[in-house]
Amino acid sequence: MSVSVHPTMAIPQNGLASPPTRVGIDNDKLAQHMIPLTALLSTEQLQLDAEEESPLLSHGHDMLYKKEEDFVLAKTDCERVPGNPSSTYAAFAIFDGHNGAAAAQYTKENLLKDIMSCMPPNLTREEWLTLLPQAMVAGFVKTDKEWRKLGQTSGTTATLVIVDGWTVTAACVGDSRCILDAQGIATPLTIDHRLDGNEEEQERIKASGGEVSRLKVAGGIEIGPLRAWPGGICLSRSIGDMDVGDYIVAVPHVKQIKLSPAGGRLIIASDGVWDAVSTRRAARCCRGVQNPETAARYVLKEAIRSRGLRDDTTCLVVDIAPPGSQPFAPALKKPLSFLKLLRCTSVKEGLIASDLSIMEELFEENSAALAERLGPEISVHAGNSLLLCATCRCNLYADAGISVHAGSFFSQVAGKTWEGPFLCAKCRSQQANAVQKVQALVPSKLLQNVAIHYEMQQSDRHEEMGIWNCSWSS
């Protein structure tokens, strides 16, 4: 902790120097505006104490059915260590099924369990939170794999939020968005895996052998949103949908943040809400409403007023409030004072500094923050539980995994041969066969560019899988 001391502050009489005098400055007036050191220390200690105390959680939801394919999960009594009440965390989720409700119901019953099965035992809380994003990736894929074994064709979105103290971890496939409303600012914590407006996902599907186009009617006229073919699904990521190509994956986008002691409000909703209202509008329409169930009802009313009831429409509101506070309602962000702006080198810096007080980003997909937190030995610690084939999710041993970069363009230019993610021998062979098929269809002068492009797509895909970047010496 650093404390700034004004140059005009008095120095003890037994010091070696006398207080400096600055021309044109009235020391008495300055002293009136100065904050005592004890007050600064007291304020900072209060903030630290608030961070150590667990926040108050309250939640509520509201639903309007059209096809009865939406499901809600809200569990506030989960335990990192079974039987230890001090290790409690909470889980909240929305599942929006399509082509039937079976996949959504199965995912509700099994997703959290599958995620926890991917966590190594005997972890401290900090280790548990650090490994949670990777376990969520592995758990989503495991749930998808087990569901496909049942041979049913329905699919579902899945947005799961785990709240442990002030740390919030959100994972999502599909378009059931989660946002954070804190201090008058609405911030998305998930991304929508829709093909419309997502060029990266469109290219990934095309590189995997799928087609992306709109529905065509008589005369070749295209209507509606972009869809992936075969199958005609509008989403690029989901759980289930086994009748669609393998290019529809269950790898979630994951984001982990730490809230400030001021807390915040989470709004999780199905696309019946987000097709009708924007992120800001959803947050604004229930701002100041203290009861989370009532807040969820306000969001639904706003959506129905805007678009009508065209689909199952579900909203789940979770309030994370400071301990000892009244029922939570997100406070409006206070405007910066002139003095606060003067302390920053620019107005832009002042605005950024203020935004940072809302939350601290700990991890997001492709974020360097995770590597900094994991450290050089974390792969050894967690490898037995999380070292899986990036494609089929079978278990790998240290001497059996083949890096996705092995023999590729990237291994030659970046030395990535011994970096993960890793594939089992069968999946690596299938990857090589896919490259050969592409080469057989492309003129020879384009072979090199196609190979490099394919490797880039595969590298991006497997990095999104979130498997450990492990290194071993032979």
Mean pLDDT confidence for 7-14: 42
* The predicted structure's pLDDT at residue 209: 84
Looking at residue 220, its pLDDT comes to 78
Q: 268 or 375, which is more confident?
A: 268
Task: Give pLDDT, residue 221.
Answer: 84
Q: Percentage of the chain with pLDDT > 90?
A: 42
pLDDT at residue 177, as a whole number: 97
pLDDT at position 287 is 94
- Residue 438: pLDDT band (50, 70, 90) is very low
Residue pair 456/413 in contact (Cβ under 8 Å)? The answer is no
Higher-scoring residue by pLDDT: 434, 241? 241
> In this predicted model, what pLDDT tens digit does every residue of 134-145 receive, in sequence order?
999 999 999 999
Residue 247 is predicted with a pLDDT of 85
Banded pLDDT at 239 (limits 50, 70, 90): very high
- Dump pLDDT digits (tens) for 125-184: 999 999 999 999 999 999 999 999 999 999 999 999 999 999 999 999 999 999 999 988
pLDDT at 451: 46
- Evaluate if pTM is beyond 0.75: no
Nearest CA-CA partner of 330 in 443, 195, 182:
182
Given this model, what pLDDT does residue 149 score? 94
Mean pLDDT over residues 207-233, rounded?
A: 85
Q: pLDDT tens across 66-92, in order?
A: 889 999 999 999 999 888 888 999 999
Sorted by where each begins, the domain ranges of the chain are: 56-193+235-371, 387-464
- The pLDDT of residue 443 is above 90: no
Rounded to the nearest integer, the mean pLDDT of the chain is 74
pLDDT tens digits for range 341-378:
344 433 333 333 334 456 677 767 644 444 444 444 43
% the chain with pLDDT above 70: 58
Q: Would you state the pLDDT for residue 359?
A: 67
Confidence of residue 113 (pLDDT cuts 50, 70, 90): very high
Residue 467: which pLDDT band, with cuts at 50, 70 and 90?
very low
Q: At what angle are helices 378-386 and 125-149 packed, to 10 degrees?
A: 30
Reported as a pLDDT band with limits 50, 70 and 90, residue 432 is: low
Q: CA-to-CA distance for 145 and 134, rounded, in angstroms?
A: 17
Q: Which fold has domain 56-193+235-371?
A: Phosphatase 2c; domain 1 (3.60.40)
